[in-house]
Amino acid sequence: MTTSHEMLYLDYAATTPVEPGVIDTMSQLFAFEGDFGNPSSGHVAGRRASARVAHATSQLAQLLGCRESELVWTSGATESDNMAIVGAARYRADRGRHLITMPIEHKAVTDAFGSLEKQGFEVTWLQPDADGLLVLDDLEAAIREDTQLVSIMHVNNEIGVIQDIEAIGSICRRHDVLFHIDAAQSVGKVPLDLATLPVDLLSTTAHKLYGPKGVGALYIADRPGCHVEPLIHGGGQQRGLRPGTLAVPLIAGFGHAAEIARLHMDENTEHLVELRDRMWEGIRDVEGILGNGGEDAAFPGILNVSVAGIEGESLLLALEPLIVATGSACNSKDREPSSVLRALGRSDELAQSAIRFSFGRPTTVEDVDFAADRYRSAVARLRELAPRSAA
Amino acid sequence: MTSDPYGDRVRELFADLAHSGDLADAPHVCVDDQGVRIALAASLEDGVLEALRFRAWGCPHVLAAAESFCRDYEGRPCSDLLEFRSAELMQTLPVPTEKLGRILVLEDAVRSLGQSVLHGLSGEAE
């Protein structure tokens, strides 16, 4: 079991540990003996650091199937989302001020759109179907003459549903609307080839794919009309799009993590499919259990389940030493039922009983068996505790 | 920084809810409010609470509070049930203030149990 007695970590959708090789890469870039220079400096130390950034950019570009010049380094997916959504909306505001997204997006997206609504933009919030998928006909119907941007998450962080970004992007291209995807959960785990996909803007982050926290990237397609206004202003780095001294160790770590993900994607996916399926098999006959998110379009690293008649907070504590999530990590401190699950039509009681298991490279079959047993016994224990009328 | 929402006392009680269950043919009450359901039962011996049991549907603080109440009140005169105050549990467990409403459901259940028990005793006296 990949755990001490204190915990069994099954929250890889929240964050992942850093690969040891990635740590080695980063550790070469902090001290005097390493390439610690400012990559904007013209001297040898700066050029060495700049070469490290260029190498990392190449590594991430290979993973995404894009050109190095189409990538901008950021502090993470939240900044990338904001830069894409707010930056693109402002850039194209003279053409129109209508935008489209879904209420099941990550807070970094919904709050960015909320901010734009306060600035006079109009946002259409498309409801998902019962599996969490965007209804393509609804999108087609929602696009107007003045629509400038559609933002849809690739893999949903709570329920793991995978949106058909090729179909969505094709609709957007046909209407000359920019298409942004939040790919924080999918990059390095789901094949993506931006050379062929109709995606204009893509947000990603390192810490979901065994890289460091604090670094992300935004892909901006090199095509006419696709651009963003910078959100911050300063020294002109990264073509003025995102100025500020580059975090060379973090960027190099992200690049290395991206390369590892690219080289091992098939075997990692196979591993996750085995774990997710085994977990579901281990708990699917629990009375009242319900999978959240469609099985046909589900990311293998995430299994989100609700169970009738169980109080979610007590379930979370009864599951210890399992480390799991009740919703997105950003939301798990407040006890409000997940807005994502509410959008899928789940009742408050089912939504608050939702548990997200997310698996990773270190997770073993034995871990999953332990987790399934723990889940079954925790549900049984809480059912036994409940007043008879509520059981 | 995110802190553990449960203190050691809540964790210890939650891990060992020894007083969960039923008491056959004993006075019992059930209160359903604030998204919490609490059932309490008491067996008596000479006006003393010989055994207390609970069933509950609620957060860990509610379950821990119910267990703590049962542990504390066994062996005490049943009239003490009417004196139960949730404020003490709020501090000793402790329970976050936003959950006061849920703990007040326990208080309602305890007092209701007290009234039921005392009513039964007065009936016996008659």
Answer yes or no: do B57 and A390 touch at CB < 8 A.
yes
Helix (H) or strand (E) holding A147, with range, is strand A147-153
Q: Which residue of A has its CA nearest to B29?
A: A387
Can you tell me the mean pLDDT for A292-302? 83
Answer yes or no: do B60 and A314 touch at CB < 8 A.
yes
Q: Which pLDDT band holds residue A343 (cuts at 50, 70, 90)?
A: confident
Chain A contact probe: residue of B34, B55, B61 with most A CBs at under 10 A: B55
Weakest mean pLDDT among A219-223, A256-260, A345-349: A345-349
Can you tell me the mean pLDDT for A216-239? 95
pLDDT over 90 (residue A294): no
B97 in reach of chain A (CB within 8 A): no
Nearest to B17 by CA among A326, A372, A317: A317
Q: Which pLDDT band holds residue A389 (cuts at 50, 70, 90)?
A: low
Give the other-Cβ count within 10 Å of A22's Cβ. 24
- Mean pLDDT of all residues in chain B? 92
Question: Which phi-psi region, left, alpha or beta, contains residue B72 (left: φ > 0; alpha: ψ -120 to 50)?
Answer: alpha
Chain B contact probe: residue of A313, A333, A374 with most B CBs at under 10 A: A313
- Mean pLDDT of all residues in chain A? 94
Question: Which phi-psi region, left, alpha or beta, contains residue A164 (left: φ > 0; alpha: ψ -120 to 50)?
Answer: beta
Question: Would the pTM count as exceeding 0.80?
Answer: yes
Can you tell me the mean pLDDT for A321-346? 74
pLDDT over 70 (residue A333): no
Query: In this predicted structure, what is the pLDDT of residue A329?
Result: 42
B6 in reach of chain A (CB within 8 A): yes
Query: In this predicted structure, what is the pLDDT of residue B4?
Result: 85
Answer yes or no: do B39 and A317 touch at CB < 8 A.
no
The CATH classification number of B8-121 equals 3.90.1010.10
Residue range A69-109, pLDDT digits in tens: 999 999 999 999 999 999 999 999 999 999 999 999 999 99
In angstroms, the separation between the Cα of residue A390 and the nearest Cα of chain B is 8
Q: Which pLDDT band holds residue A122 (cuts at 50, 70, 90)?
A: very high
Q: Which of B2, B6, B57 sits opposite A386 (nearest CB)?
A: B57
In angstroms, the CA A237 to CA A133 distance is: 38
Query: In this predicted structure, what is the pLDDT of residue A109?
Result: 98
- The three-state secondary structure class of A114 is helix
Q: Which residue would you say has higher pLDDT here, A349 or A305?
A: A305
Chain A contact probe: residue of B16, B59, B62, B102 with most A CBs at under 10 A: B59
In angstroms, the CA B107 to CA B113 distance is: 10
In angstroms, the CA B83 to CA A167 distance is: 66
Low-confidence ranges of chain B (pLDDT < 50): none
Is A226 an active-site residue?
no
Residue A335: DSSP 8-state: -
Query: In this predicted structure, what is the pLDDT of residue A328?
Result: 39
Residue range A163-212, pLDDT digits in tens: 999 999 999 999 999 999 999 999 999 999 999 999 999 999 999 999 99
Q: Where are the domains of chain B?
A: 8-121
Q: Which pLDDT band holds residue A327 (cuts at 50, 70, 90)?
A: low
Domains, chain A, in order of start with CATH, read 8-17+265-384 (3.90.1150.10), 20-263 (3.40.640.10)
Q: Which of B30, B39, B59 sits opposite A313 (nearest CB)?
A: B59
Answer yes or no: do B56 and A317 touch at CB < 8 A.
no
Residue range B50-83, pLDDT digits in tens: 999 999 999 999 999 999 999 999 999 999 999 9
Residues of B in contact with A390 (CB under 8 A): 32, 37, 57
| Residue B75: both structure tokens together | 């062996």
| Residue A95: both structure tokens together | 């053409």
Answer yes or no: do A317 and B14 touch at CB < 8 A.
yes
What is the value of ipTM here, to two decimals? Answer: 0.93
Query: In this predicted structure, what is the pLDDT of residue A293?
Result: 87
pLDDT over 60 (residue A331): no
B38 in reach of chain A (CB within 8 A): yes
Q: Which of A311, A387, A388 sits opposite B59 (nearest CB)?
A: A311
Q: Which residues of A touch B (CB under 8 A)?
A: 309, 311, 313-314, 317-318, 333, 335, 384-390
In angstroms, the separation between the Cα of residue A247 and the nearest Cα of chain B is 24
Q: Which residues of A74-84 are buried (b: 16+ CB within 10 A; e: fewer)?
A: bbbbbbbbbbb
pLDDT over 90 (residue A388): no
